[in-house]
A and B are shown apart, each in its own frame.
Chain A
C-alpha cells in the first residue's frame, strides 16, 4: 500500500493523464518494442516510442508483459507439435534431407530411425526392413546412404567410448559413382557452423563430435544440393 503522498501523486497523475491527447495512428511494431526492451534503440527513437507507450494502453501492454513475466517458466513442447511446425515447410520436392536418429551406447550404436538405407552385411536396406529383421544395434559403426537428385551421400558414424562420435561424409556423383568435386561440407549445431571443409575429393571427416542435434549442409557453388539432419543422444 503506497503512503499518502504516493496516493496523492497517483491521483494527480491520473487526472493529468485523462487530459492528455490520445496518440495518433502510428503504433510501434514488434521489432520496435523488442529493441526498446533490449535497450538497442537510438535515444531519440526510444523517447518517441516511450511517449507513445505512455498514452497507448494496447502497445504498453506489449511492452510491459515481458517485464512482468521475466524469464517464462520453461515448458516442454509436445513432439507432435514440433513435427507439425516442421511440416509447415516442405522439402524442396527432391527429398533433400537424410535424417538420422541414433542413440550412442557404450558398446554399440542403436539406430532409432533414418530416411536412408543402412548397410547390413553386403546389402543396403531401409529402416522398415531392418525392423522386420529385428536389427537395431550396430557394434562399432553404422553406414547409411541416400540418393539425392544428382548425388549419392554416404554417411559413416563411429562411436568413441559412448561419449562422442566420428562422422564421415562422402559424396559421389549419382551418374558416374565418382567422388563429387567442388563441394563445401559444413557441420552446424543450432545454426552455428562448427566445421566447414572444401571437399575436393567429395569427403569430409568430423572427429570428436559430441552428442546432440546437428545439421550437415552439402553445397556446390553456394547452392545446397543435399542435407543431413543428425540427432545422436544417449
Chain B
C-alpha cells in the first residue's frame, strides 16, 4: 500500500486532475464546514443562519481554486505540516475576516476583558488622584519583572492573561501536558512573586 503525501495530492488537484479534486472535496469538506460553524459559534455574538455557513463554505472553495488554484498552491507541506491543519487555518482566517467585515469597529475580544479594579489589588487610595497615579507608577515599576521572564513564559502569560485561554486550552496551544501547564503557571507565579518582593512590593497574600 502506498500513501500519497499531502503535497503530491495537492499538486494533482492544482494540475486540474478532476478525480483528485473530487477526492479533495470528499476528504476535506466536512472539516471545513464544521470549522466554519464552530468559529461562527464561538466568535460571533449573533447567531448565524445555515445559509451563512453554506455561503462561507462555497467562498472558501472558490478561494482555493480561483486564479488557477493560486491559494491552494501556497500550501507547501513545509516541515511536514499537514494539509488538514493548513485548511483549518485558512478556514479560520476566512471566517474571522468575514466577522471583522461585519463589525469593523468592534473588537473580537470584546467581553474578554477582566473586571479588574486596582483597588482590589493594592490599598485603596483612589479618592486621592495623585495617590492612584503613584500606585500606577509602582505597578509600572514591577513590569520590569515581566521583562525579565524568558520569551516562552511571556508567551504563556499572553495566552493566559490577555487571550483568556483556559489551562486546558493552553495545553492544546502549547502542545504540552496538563501537568506541564500547571507547573509552568506555578513557576511563573513564583518567579514574579519573588521579583515583586525584591522590588519592595509588600505582598500580604
Query: Which A residues are within 8 Å of any B CB, using their own CB?
Result: 3-17, 19, 29-35, 37-42, 47, 50-51, 53-54, 57, 60-70, 72-78, 81-82, 84-86, 88-92, 96-97, 188, 190-194, 196, 213, 215, 217, 224, 227, 229
Across the interface, do A30 and B26 meet the contact criterion of CB distance under 8 Å?
no
CB-CB under 8 A for A4 and B54, given A34-B81, A190-B27:
no
Q: Which residues of B contact A60 (CB under 8 A)?
A: 158-159, 163
Partner of B78, one of A31, A53, A97: A31
Whether the pair A9, B161 counts as a contact (CB closer than 8 A) is yes
Chain B nearest Cβ from A42, distance in angstroms: 7
Which one of B13, B31, B81, B162 contacts A89 once the chains associate, using CB atoms below 8 Å? Answer: B13
Cα separation A89 to B35 with both chains bound (whole Å): 23
Partner of A13, one of B31, B79, B157: B157
Whether B85 lies near A92 (C-beta < 8 A) is no
Task: List B43-62 residues whose CB lies under 8 Å from chain A.
Answer: 43, 54, 57-58, 61-62
A68: chain B residues at CB < 8 Å are 42, 165, 169
Could you tell me if A73 and B38 are in contact, using CB atoms closer than 8 angstroms? Answer: yes
CB contact between A42 and one of B79, B96, B193 (< 8 Å): that residue: B79
**Are the CB atoms of B139 and A12 closer together than 8 Å?**
yes
Give the CA-CA distance A54 to B150 in the complex, in Å. Answer: 13
- The complex places the Cα of A227 from the Cα of B122 at a distance, in Å, of 73
Residue of B nearest to A74 (CB): B34
On whether the beta carbons of B74 and A64 are closer than 8 Å, the reply is no
- Does B18 contact A97, Cβ atoms closer than 8 Å? yes
Q: Check B175–A4 contact: CB distance below 8 A.
A: no
Beta-carbon contact of B118 and A96 below 8 Å: no
Contact of A77 among B57, B80, B155 (CB under 8 A): B57
Which residues 161-205 of B have a CB within 8 angstroms of A?
A: 161-163, 165, 169-170, 172-173, 175, 188-189, 192-193, 196, 203, 205
* Residue from B9, B96, B140, B173 within 8 A of A67 (CB atoms): B173
Per a CB cutoff under 8 Å, which of A9, A32, A85 touches B192? A9
